[in-house]
Amino acid sequence: MMAAHERPREEPQPVHQVHEFRVPWLALASVAATIAAASAIVLGIGDTLDGDGPPGRLLPLQAASPPATPPAGRVGHAEAGPPESPETRMHDALVRLRLSVDQGVEAGDVRGDAGLDLTAAIERILDRLWSPPGHRRADVTFLHQRIAVRTREGAIAGHRADELHLILDRAS
């Protein structure tokens, strides 16, 4: 029973919880960026698969993968394999050239700014290695000229310049 001085007890009212919907903006931005990147890749690969490219052009995954079987003539003995393609010769020469420039900078035969200049030029040429033969010849000529200019400036030692020219001569 309730006494006269007591107030009636009120039953607790259920609290209505308000659930706030928070948008995970960072997660949505990540998903959008992933979709955009995937679309760009699919469109880029699709262009290489349509067969309109130059003959002998490798697809991106083929270019990055080693051959499934060793080339003929290289199984178990040191016979010469098939002749290298001009692109392969050019690539190998540019990689050797970049290495020689780096070694020249370390040895003091190539001044640092000249090393950066030549390395940037080599990287640009490596990025467009599959260009037509006329462009590749022009790229080699350009590098010969850059080496000659930097040698006249005193930024490349004579013996190192001779080595760089010799490496480039093997590219063609």
What does the pLDDT look like over 160-169, one tens digit per residue? 999 999 999 9
3-state secondary structure of 110: strand
* pLDDT above 80 (res 144): yes
* pLDDT above 90 (res 65): no
Predicted TM-score (pTM) above 0.75: no
> 19-57: buried (b, 16+ CB within 10 Å) or exposed (e) per residue?
eeeeeeeeeeeeeeeeeeeeeeeeeeeeeeeeeeeeeee
Q: What is the pLDDT of residue 73?
A: 45
Q: How high is the mean pLDDT of the chain? A: 74
Q: Are 126 and 94 in contact (CB under 8 A)?
A: yes
In angstroms, rounded to a whole number, what is the distance separating the alpha carbons of residues 154 and 21?
67
Q: Delimit the domains of the chain by residue range.
A: 86-169
3-state secondary structure of 156: strand
Q: Are 170 and 90 in contact (CB under 8 A)?
A: no
Q: What is the pLDDT of residue 133?
A: 81
Q: What is the pLDDT of residue 129?
A: 73
